[in-house]
Amino acid sequence: MKASTKRRLKRAGIEVTALGMGTAPLGGLYTPVSLGDARGAMQAAWDAGIRYFDTAPMYGLTRCEHLTGELLREEDPSSFAVSTKVGRLMSFDRPGRILPPAPPKNEFDSGWNNGLSFREVFDYSYDAILRSYDDSRQRTGLSKLDILFVHDIGRVTHGALHEHHWSALTKGGGFRALEELRAAGLIAGFGLGVNENQAILDAMEETDLDVCLLAGRYTMLDGSATEELLPKALEREVALVVGGVFNSGILASSSGRKKFNYVDAPAEIIEKADALRAVCEGFGVPLPAAAIQFPMRHPATANVVIGVKSAEQLRQNVEWFEQPIPDALWTTLEDKGLISAV
């Protein structure tokens, strides 16, 4: 499959390319990214035919929304699709202003080396969702935002505060705000952008979702979405955008840093990654090529989004995504119990 192949999101009624670009690394995830490299990576994605871009206020504490707008705002709005996220408002400290206590650091938050001078404030209420939409429109300068994802709602992220934030989203009108934006034609659709399967399953019982971004839970190392979430998404026609296909890098790296879910990989994960790599090498397929294509095997997957730090990395990801892979590789991995069957 080509990276530029168009895939239709049935409920949202828009098209995205099979490979999309996630912008989180451009905010300085793990290491700083220069402005030149960030702009180069974005332009390389466009030049490769990628026409779906995902961003968020959190990424680089607004840096990545600015970068996304810079790339896209002069292009024909009908030629691309863009998603951003709601659930965090960006604020700053100043004399006399009283902000809520900084949220506790959750296991999925690695911090930003190129973050701008803002501070995130979690708020999933009706007014906050509408404000977040307006803020993102102004930061990007775009005439449209196609998809809004409720960002990082879930028990792993929020711990003891989960019920408070979930109540703001449900009883507090957060979902209602998204429904109104969709009904007014201001967005094509909405869903969740999370690392937690259960959050999407719970949200499906609260509102009609169109598309969700699931990061790190449907990969060659983590098939936890397979049993319940993927079948239910397919049944409800909720398209899945799959991110985190390299599980923070371990499936893309043959040596050096071995991150898994944003932290150093434990021994058992390194062992499984090595076993996957050995089978792939037996078929002459790089492990990252198998990892980036793996989610596309399931019919619930609409597309895959990848994050890069440079134009070179972007072009390498496109090459991996488009590399032919024999069906026998997947069968062998299934037979060895290394991946789940579709």
pLDDT value of residue 262:
73
DSSP annotation of 69: H
Window from 57-61, 239-243, 261-265, 284-288 with minimum mean pLDDT: 261-265
**pTM for the full predicted model:** 0.94
pLDDT value of residue 341:
86
Average pLDDT over residues 49-62: 98
- Spell out the alpha helix ranges (H) of 24-173: 35-47, 63-72, 126-140, 155-158, 162-169
Q: Give the pair of three-digit tokens for residue 21.
A: 């670009």
User: Domain residues of the chain, as ranges?
Assistant: 6-335
Q: Which amino acid is at 64?
A: C
- 236 dihedral zone (left: phi>0; alpha: psi -120 to 50; beta): alpha
What DSSP string describes 137-151? HHHH--S---EEEEE
pLDDT value of residue 253:
76
Q: Which amino acid is at 23?
A: T
Query: Where do we find the tokens 């997947």?
Result: 330
Q: Measured in whole angstroms, how far is the alpha carbon of residue 106 from the centre of its chain?
A: 17
Name 191's Cβ contacts closer than 8 Å, sequence gap at least 6.
147, 149, 150, 200, 203, 209, 210, 211, 212, 213, 238
In the chain, the percentage of residues whose pLDDT exceeds 90 is: 85
Exposed e or buried b per residue across 161-189, where buried means at least 16 C-beta atoms within 10 angstroms of its C-beta? eeeebbebbbebbbbebbeebbeeeebbb
Nearest CA to 3 among 232, 289, 332, 341?
289
Nearest CA to 235 among 300, 294, 298?
300
Q: Give the pair of three-digit tokens for residue 267.
A: 């021994």
| pLDDT bucket at 207, cuts 50 / 70 / 90 | very high
pLDDT value of residue 256:
47
Report how far residue 191's alpha carbon sits from residue 240's, in angstroms, rounded to the nearest whole number: 9
Q: Is the pLDDT of residue 125 over 70?
A: yes
pLDDT value of residue 107:
55
Query: Where do we find the tokens 């009883």?
Result: 171
pLDDT digits (tens, 9 = 90+) for 319-328: 999 999 999 9
Q: Which amino acid is at 254?
A: S
Report how far residue 322's alpha carbon sits from residue 325's, in angstroms, rounded to the nearest whole number: 9
pLDDT digits (tens, 9 = 90+) for 134-177: 999 999 999 999 999 999 999 998 999 999 999 999 999 999 99
Average pLDDT over residues 254-270: 75
Window from 13-22, 126-135, 263-272 with minimum mean pLDDT: 263-272
The catalytic residues are 54, 59, 85
pLDDT digits (tens, 9 = 90+) for 97-122: 555 655 555 555 567 999 999 999 99
CATH of 6-335, one of 3.20.20.100, 3.40.640.10, 1.10.150.20, 3.40.50.1000: 3.20.20.100
Average pLDDT over residues 232-240: 98
pLDDT value of residue 105:
56
Return the sign of the alpha-carbon dihedral for residues 104, 107, 113, 118: negative
